[in-house]
Amino acid sequence: MKIRVRLFGTLRSSVPDYDPARGIEVEVPDGARVADLLAHLGPAGPKAAVVSVNHVIAGPDRVIEAGAEVTVMQAMYGG
């Protein structure tokens, strides 16, 4: 199934020719979870990320529906 993924922050630079206005279209298997998508993205999918599916914050076990819009934002750390 195809989903639209939008990356924010430094994650954008990890995908060649990334278009911030459109994001990228990603093919994932039916029943894929947020954790599966992050693994599929490789370097663009950090282990510490804030992810939303259709504008709702989602945990790693959330199943992604076909045609969903997924936003991935790198978690910030400070000290």
pLDDT digits (tens, 9 = 90+) for 15-72: 888 899 999 999 999 999 999 998 888 766 666 789 999 999 999 999 999 999 999 9
pLDDT tier for residue 74 given thresholds of 50, 70 and 90? confident
SS3 content of the chain, % helix, strand, coil (to 5): 20, 35, 40
Does residue 34 sit in helix, strand or coil? Answer: helix
pTM (2 decimals)?
0.85
Strands 24-27 and 69-74: unpaired
Would you say domain 2-74 falls under CATH 3.90.550.10?
A: no
Structure token digits, residue 16: 């060649």
DSSP secondary-structure letter at 56? E
Planar angle of CA 63, 69, 71, nearest 5 degrees = 90
Parse the chain into domains and list their residue ranges: 2-74
